Amino acid sequence: MRRHIIGSMILGVATATFAILAWRHTFATVHDKGYALANLAICGFVFTVACFGGAIAGIMRQVAVRNYLVALVIAALFVAPIPFIGTAYRMNATKQYLTQTYSALAEEGPPFPSDLPAHGRANRDALISHGYWVADDRETFEVYYHDGSDSFTKVYPTGQWDWRGNKYAGPDSQHE
């Protein structure tokens, strides 16, 4: 058992490192979505190779090699979904925060504040790219967030999420 301590530690540290890197790329930017897909492809490749290698090692009765390959399979299954789970969590947190903010502002009615008010319950670290726009007369406003290259807004008074295209930052912004 002692001869496998170093190998097990290397495998554990590598898995933890990849898990942390995967979690860091969960902010719903185009770059992070590319990372998530690359991470998924690499984990799929590692999973496939480790499964076949583990089966061959099992047939050849190489128990230590088989055990390491089974550990690699489990590590790949663990690391692969992390960016997608993190992105979904941050997207939901942002949408919930903006929906609550929209509701609070809509209840108060015009004139609306010129800046997005702070919300006490929102964890700022969990939120992705979002913003707020208010008209010059302060009679209408909208909250928006970005999901990769797409933008979605909730405009007062309709209160429905609408797709706005790319790089949206209010009606006066340049977007595609």
Domain membership flag for residue 175: no
Q: 29 pLDDT exceeds 60? A: yes
The model's pLDDT over 79-110, given as tens digits with 9 standing for 90+, comes to 989 888 888 888 888 888 888 888 888 888 88
In a domain, 147, yes or no: yes
pLDDT at 1: 54
pTM of the model: 0.72
Q: Distance (Å, rounded) from C-alpha 1 to C-alpha 12?
A: 16
By C-alpha distance, which of 61, 70, 54 is closest to 8? 70
Tokens representing residue 146 in the block:
């970005």
For residue range 156-174, what is the model confidence (pLDDT) as tens digits?
A: 888 888 888 777 777 776 5
Same domain, 134 and 158: yes
Rounded Cα gap, residues 46 and 93, in angstroms: 32
Residue 5 lies in a domain: yes
Q: Do 134 and 164 belong together in one domain? A: yes
Question: Is residue 8 domain-shared with residue 39, that is, in the same domain?
Answer: yes
What the block records as the tokens of 13 is 């540290």
Q: Give the domain range for residue 125.
A: 113-169
Look at residue 65 and tell me if it is in a domain: yes
